[in-house]
Structure 1
Amino acid sequence: MSEQTLSRRELYREQTRAEIMMIGLRQIADGGAEALSLNAIAKEMAVSGAALYRYFASRDELLAALVVQSYEDLARTLEASAAKRHKLGPARVHAVAAAYRAWALAEPHRYRLVFSTRLDPGRLASDEIVLASQRSMNVFLQALGSLPPHSDATGRGVSPALAAQLEAWHQRSSEPALSPATLRLGVTCWTRLHGIMSLELDGHLHATNIDPALLYAAEVEDLIG
């Protein structure tokens, strides 16, 4: 909704929600998701805790909104990378994977927020969060779907049961039909790159003296073919 179509009350509400989310995200950047506190936000804004609950009914609701906001920021980053120069094939996969790592390194608190946040299962599986997360996955799927067929090796031997589950997951996406092999490659790409990024961000690779950038690049090459 544009500002032109918002009433003064609606505009004030949107601005207040944005301020709450900005302060909440700063709390998370300073101390992780467990540092998020509605009472502390209310104190900083010089309002009562009860007033804050008019904008977010609970801490979990605010946390979920920040998860969605972070997923959308990640998706915009990946979409911009995919649209710049790389239209098809391995170069596009490399560009999207590089953008994913760059975002994680630049926004480690938001990366942990979207992938490590503890929310109740119902809220975590809400349409809003699922659709926001799927948007960034769609960029990977588009890139992987443009690979030559022989690069789809990760999908070989997909069982009928797994293929059905992959397709059911994919039905919530706005992407066109993709082969079970490409869908499996998408999930594999996500899990493997996320594994490396999590180890890097938490400092677990430091003691190995292995350059995380080289390891990450090698993993992308392996996924491509």
Structure 2
Amino acid sequence: MGAQTLSRRELYREQTRAEIMTIGLRQIADGGAEALSLNAIAKEMAVSGAALYRYFAGRDDLLAALVVQAYEDLARSLEAATARRHRSGPARVHAVAAAYRAWALGQPHCYRLVFSTRLDSGRLASDEIVLASQRSMNVFLDALGSLSPHPGSSGRAVTPALAAQLEAWHRRSTDPALPPETLRLGVTCWTRLHGIMSLELDGHLQATNIDPGLLYRAEVEDLIG
């Protein structure tokens, strides 16, 4: 009986946490991360503000949970895009890049949440967030590692200092060791595609009359080349 009662409590707790996060994410969709408010969530749920602290230590704790949730959703989207293992290396990179853009366009509030939220407040710079973000990066690295000839074979050497920093960064991952050239290409791919996506989502490319989709695809082709 005791174990059964505990199970019900845990189920109720998970359901309540999920409801809090759903309302919080809706607040972010409407007004950005700054709009996240525990008091407003409590009011919508018709409970006291103090009641929410049974589920989250504070606003930063809730924000961190939402960042992790968004990263995990992004990773699932990217992993689904590479499910067809028989694809060639370039096709896999294109599939991952296309899934990345589709996820950003479909959920711009989640994209901004993970890439525009400051993560230096202690509560937000957690190992959980690092692991969640690395999961999606690993999909990029796996696709880039399948390219042939191997990335970096063009003679663009990675300096020892940069190679050491790339390896230290990658040690946070559980993936097998990758060459510095692949790690560098992964970071380059992420930063360049993120730059285009940020400009597109914020409307900065409209004045150029350039199709963001064509620009994005050209950038992927350049990275593969």
Give, as a single letter, the amino acid of the residue that structure 2 aligns with 1:39. Answer: N
Structure-1 separation of matches of 2:61 and 2:203? 30
SS at 1:187's partner residue?
helix
TM-score, normalisation: structure 1: 0.94
Identity of aligned residues (%): 86
Structure-1 separation of matches of 2:109 and 2:97? 19
Structure-2 separation of matches of 1:212 and 1:35? 29
Structure-1 separation of matches of 2:172 and 2:64? 19
Is the Cα–Cα contact under 8 Å of residues 93 and 143 in structure 2 kept in the other structure? Answer: yes
1:34-75 per-residue CA deviation (whole Å, 9 max, x = no partner) reads: 110000000000000000111111101000000000000000
Is the Cα–Cα contact under 8 Å of residues 154 and 184 in structure 1 kept in the other structure? Answer: no
Is the Cα–Cα contact under 8 Å of residues 119 and 125 in structure 2 kept in the other structure? Answer: no
SS at 1:56's partner residue?
coil
Deviating beyond 6 angstroms after TM superposition, the runs of 4 or more aligned structure 1 residues are none
Matched with 2:221 is 221
Matched with 2:164 is 164
Matched with 1:97 is 97
Identify the range of structure 1 (167-176 vs 177-186) with the bigger mean alpha-carbon deviation: 167-176
Structure 2, unpaired ranges of 5+: none
Instruction: List aligned pairs for 1:131-142, cutoff 5 A.
Output: 131-142=131-142
Matched with 1:77 is 77
Against the structure 1 CA distance between its residues 155 and 182, is the aligned structure 2 distance closer, same or farther, given a 3 Å change threshold? farther
Structure-1 separation of matches of 2:128 and 2:25? 19
Matched with 1:118 is 118
Matched with 1:49 is 49
TM-score, normalisation: structure 2: 0.94
Structure-2 separation of matches of 1:154 and 1:41? 54
Q: CA deviation at 1:87?
A: 3.6
SS at 1:130's partner residue?
helix
Structure-2 separation of matches of 1:167 and 1:47? 48
Give, as a single letter, the amino acid of the residue that structure 2 aligns with 1:28. Answer: I
Against the structure 1 CA distance between its residues 23 and 162, is the aligned structure 2 distance closer, same or farther, given a 3 Å change threshold? same
Structure-1 separation of matches of 2:5 and 2:157? 53
Give, as a single letter, the amino acid of the residue that structure 1 aligns with 2:202. Answer: D
Is the Cα–Cα contact under 8 Å of residues 17 and 55 in structure 1 kept in the other structure? Answer: yes
Is the Cα–Cα contact under 8 Å of residues 155 and 182 in structure 1 kept in the other structure? Answer: no
Matched with 2:12 is 12
Structure-2 separation of matches of 1:102 and 1:68? 19
Give, as a single letter, the amino acid of the residue that structure 1 aligns with 2:82. Answer: A
Structure-1 separation of matches of 2:194 and 2:209? 20
> Is residue 2:203 matched to residue 1:203?
yes
Is the Cα–Cα contact under 8 Å of residues 151 and 181 in structure 2 kept in the other structure? Answer: no
Identify the range of structure 1 (119-128 vs 179-188) with the bigger mean alpha-carbon deviation: 119-128
Identify the range of structure 1 (155-164 vs 13-22) with the bigger mean alpha-carbon deviation: 155-164
Give, as a single letter, the amino acid of the residue that structure 1 aligns with 2:107. Answer: E
- Size of the aligned set, in residue pairs, is 222
Q: CA deviation at 1:32?
A: 0.6
Q: CA deviation at 1:153?
A: 5.4
Give, as a single letter, the amino acid of the residue that structure 1 aligns with 2:25. Answer: L
SS at 2:187's partner residue?
helix
Q: CA deviation at 1:85?
A: 5.9
Structure 1, unpaired ranges of 5+: none
Q: CA deviation at 1:175?
A: 1.4
SS at 2:157's partner residue?
coil
